[in-house]
Structures are given as structure tokens and as C-alpha cells.
Amino acid sequence: MKIEVTAGTAPEGGGRDRIVALLNRQAEAAGHPFRSEHLLIEAHEDGRYLGGLQARCGVDWVYVELLAVDEDARRRGVGGALLARLEDEARARGMTGVWLDTFTFQAPGFYERQGYTSFGRIDDYPRGQARVFYTKRLTD
């Protein structure tokens, strides 16, 4: 057996696809295939990029991978509008809910104001802070 480490970011394709294929075979056998679709939602105003959200739909839930709003556009409802648009899209696709994570030095209060509930955290990630996980159920 030979074990290798590949440094850097894992791109789509290659080794990542091989790992996903193994996981998906197991998930399909259990009736829950890992088929996923990426969504990109962006906000623009007068030709200016205000921010965006990247998410992945799969296994009946949507995971928000990235959400960022330009500093000059913050506190204008852009982030809330991006999340609301994602939630509408998730409902249209029959998704159960949305989940995401953030750091305590970023936006926990913002997500809580959008109706998200914390379901877990990792303390000292990074040191002196925490990574916090949130969910919002869209269906009963």
C-alpha cells in the first residue's frame, strides 16, 4: 500500500471525484445518493458587485459554502436578500432546509436575525474564537 499527500487546494475532479464516487456508491445503496448541484447567487447595483453566495444542494439540504458582502454594501440588506433568494430556490427544489457555518468573529448575529438556529460549535477554531454551525428548516 502506498499513501500519498497532495498539498494545496483540492480542485473539482481527479482525486476528489474518486472519493465522492466511493461515498456515493454507499449512499445510493442506502437510498440517499450524493448528487449535488452548485448554486451561485450574486448581487449587483449600477454595475457594482455587492456580494454573493455559493451553495450546494444535495441530500435534501442546501449547504452555504460561501457568503460575502462588500464592506461598503453591508447593513443595507444585501446579505439577507442573498439568503432569502437561496431559501426561495431551495423551497422550489423541495429541499428540507439550509445549513451553514461561520466564525464568532464574523456573522453569528446576522444569521440569527435571519432565523437560523445554532446546532453546534467548535471552540478555539481559531484560537480564542469558535466555528459555529447553523440551520434553518424550510419544511415541516
Q: Residues 100, 83: contact at Cβ < 8 Å? A: no
Which residues have C-beta within 8 Å of that of residue 133, sequence separation ≥ 6? 99, 100, 101, 118, 119, 120, 121
CATH of the domain at 68: 3.40.630.30
On whether residue 109 sits in a domain, the answer given is yes
pLDDT digit string, tens, across residues 78-106: 999 999 999 999 999 999 999 999 999 99
40 located within any domain: yes
The answer to the question of residue 113 being in a domain is yes
Number of domains in the chain: 1
Please write the tens of the pLDDT for every residue from 26-70: 999 998 887 788 999 999 999 999 999 999 998 899 999 999 999
- Check pLDDT > 80 for residue 9: no
* Residue 78 lies inside a defined structural domain of this protein: yes
- pTM here? 0.87
Is the pLDDT confidence value at 5 over 90?
no
* pLDDT for 11: 60
Q: What is the domain extent for residue 105?
A: 35-137
- What is the tens place of the pLDDT at every residue in 107-116? 999 999 999 9
Q: pLDDT band at residue 24, thresholds of 50, 70 and 90?
A: confident
Cell numbers linked to 127: 484560537
